[in-house]
Every structure is written in structure tokens, then in C-alpha cells.
């Protein structure tokens, strides 16, 4: 297979032998971010489709996810860094009950490389932990990621909890993840939350929204 098709195939097949060498060759031809966006994410999309239609079992999805993470970690040092972390600070987490973190970590990379300081709390984070971290780090915003349908409900509960703690005015909230839709966030959740809540379709929209929040 040609290089970029082979790389995409590696994600789908969870094949990591020779991965770094292929990534290095790819870096000779394209910027790191383009490799992630056009090639690696396309592989993850296929994984999602195969899993969703029952053609791929969970352990193989996990292998694909591991190869994806290894690939992103290998590419990250090759990404351009625009700024130095002075644009603002965001606490980022995958919500309670949800282990998916590839998208959240991409958001971290994109924001970090574009001048934000990111406090990445990891996966399965209850709202209490998120709010404690936001207070401790004096965050300018809170970002929550979730890929499961039930995570969209958790997000709604989290926003209600923030209202009842009286912290909605303090933290704008950025939400993202495959199970969310713009309509759900903009119609249902903006009604729930007393502060500002925004939907980001991908990491770049997350960056644009952070820029708008900090403007």
C-alpha cells in the first residue's frame, strides 16, 4: 500500500510494528497536523463504523486506539507551537463514566500548541473534581468531553450542579464528543446552564471558541 493508505490501515488494524518509521516518512511529506486530521482520524472513523456495525470486536478497537495514541504522541513534538501558554487556562476532562480520551487529548494538544495552558484531568472525572481543579488552577473555562450517549446526560447534570453551586457565572463551559450534537447543546443545554455553554464539533472549533471566550 502507498504510505498514507498504509498508515490509515495501521490504525484500523491496530498494527504498530513499523509505525514510527512510516510516521517519519509521512512527516517528510506533510505537516503533523495534516497527518492526524486526514489520515489517522479517517482510520479511527472506520474503526467506529466497523465496531458500530458489529464487524469489529472491542479488544481490537482498543488496539486501534492504542496505535492512534502512539501515533499522536510521536507526531506531537513535530507540531508548530504558536504561543507560550499565556492566552488563558482551561481545565479539561472526560466526564464521569466515560473512558474515551483520544478526542479530549487532541483538544489538549491543539489548545496547548496555540497558546493555552491546559489542565488535563483525564477520564471518568466527576464534576466535583473538575470544579475543584478549576478553582485551584483559577481556570478561565472548563472543557468536558464525552462520547457515550449517557455522557450527554452527565453533562446536563454537571451544568445543573454548577448552577446550584452558584459557579455558572464564573466558568464558561466548552463541550465536545461524538455523542453530542450542536442542537442538543444549543437548544437543551443553554436553557439548563446559567452561564455560557458552547459546543465544539472538533478541536479546532474548541480553539476558536476559547479565543472568543478570552477575547
> Would you tell me which residues interact with ligand B1M (CB under 6 A)?
41, 44, 47-48, 51-52, 58, 61-62, 65, 92, 97-104, 106-107, 143-145, 147-149, 174-179, 200, 202-203, 206
CB nearer ligand B1M, residue 46 or residue 163:
46
74 given a catalytic annotation: no
88 three-class SS: strand
Catalytic residue of the set 100, 101, 108, 145: 100
CB nearer ligand B1M, residue 28 or residue 80:
80
112 three-class SS: helix
> At its nearest, how many Å lie between ligand B1M and the CB of residue 204?
7
> At its nearest, how many Å lie between ligand B1M and the CB of residue 212?
13
- Residue 8 CA, chain-centre distance (Å), reads 20
The C-alpha atoms of residue 131 and residue 95 are separated, in whole angstroms, by: 12
CB nearer ligand B1M, residue 28 or residue 96:
96
84 given a catalytic annotation: no
Beta-carbon-side half-sphere exposure of residue 166 (alpha carbons within 13 Å) = 0
The C-alpha atoms of residue 59 and residue 73 are separated, in whole angstroms, by: 21
The C-alpha atoms of residue 194 and residue 190 are separated, in whole angstroms, by: 8
CB nearer ligand B1M, residue 21 or residue 140:
140
> At its nearest, how many Å lie between ligand B1M and the CB of residue 138?
18
Grid-cell match 472525572, residue found: 125
59: cell is: 479488544
Position closest to ligand B1M via CB: 103
58: cell is: 472491542
202 given a catalytic annotation: no
Catalytic residue of the set 101, 108, 140, 151: 151
CA-to-CA dists, residue 130 to 67, 116, 143, angstroms? 28, 18, 9
> At its nearest, how many Å lie between ligand B1M and the CB of residue 84?
21
62: cell is: 482498543
CB nearer ligand B1M, residue 28 or residue 122:
122
The C-alpha atoms of residue 13 and residue 16 are separated, in whole angstroms, by: 9
> At its nearest, how many Å lie between ligand B1M and the CB of residue 28?
24
Catalytic residue of the set 98, 101, 108, 140: 98
* Catalytic (active-site) positions: 98, 100, 151
Amino acid at each position: 500500500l502507498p504510505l498514507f493508505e498504509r498508515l490509515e490501515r495501521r490504525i484500523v488494524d491496530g498494527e504498530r510494528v513499523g509505525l514510527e518509521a512510516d510516521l517519519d516518512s509521512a512527516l517528510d511529506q506533510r505537516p503533523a497536523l495534516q497527518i492526524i486530521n486526514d489520515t489517522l482520524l479517517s482510520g479511527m472513523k472506520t474503526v467506529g463504523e466497523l465496531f458500530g456495525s458489529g464487524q469489529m470486536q472491542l479488544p481490537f478497537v482498543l488496539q486501534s486506539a492504542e496505535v492512534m495514541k502512539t501515533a499522536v504522541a510521536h507526531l506531537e513534538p513535530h507540531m508548530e507551537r504558536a504561543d507560550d501558554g499565556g492566552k488563558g487556562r482551561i481545565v479539561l476532562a472526560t466526564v464521569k463514566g466515560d473512558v474515551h480520551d483520544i478526542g479530549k487529548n487532541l483538544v489538549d494538544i491543539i489548545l496547548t500548541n496555540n497558546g493555552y495552558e491546559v489542565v488535563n484531568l483525564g477520564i471518568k472525572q466527576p464534576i466535583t473534581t473538575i470544579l475543584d481543579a478549576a478553582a485551584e488552577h483559577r481556570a478561565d473555562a472548563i472543557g468536558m468531553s464525552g462520547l457515550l450517549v449517557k455522557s450527554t446526560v452527565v453533562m446536563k447534570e454537571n451544568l445543573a450542579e454548577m448552577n446550584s453551586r452558584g459557579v455558572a457565572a464564573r466558568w464558561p463551559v466548552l463541550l465536545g464528543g461524538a455523542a453530542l450534537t450542536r442542537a442538543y447543546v444549543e437548544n437543551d443545554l443553554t436553557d439548563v446552564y446559567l452561564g455560557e455553554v458552547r459546543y465544539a464539533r472538533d478541536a479546532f472549533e474548541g480553539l476558536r471558541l476559547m479565543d472568543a471566550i478570552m477575547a
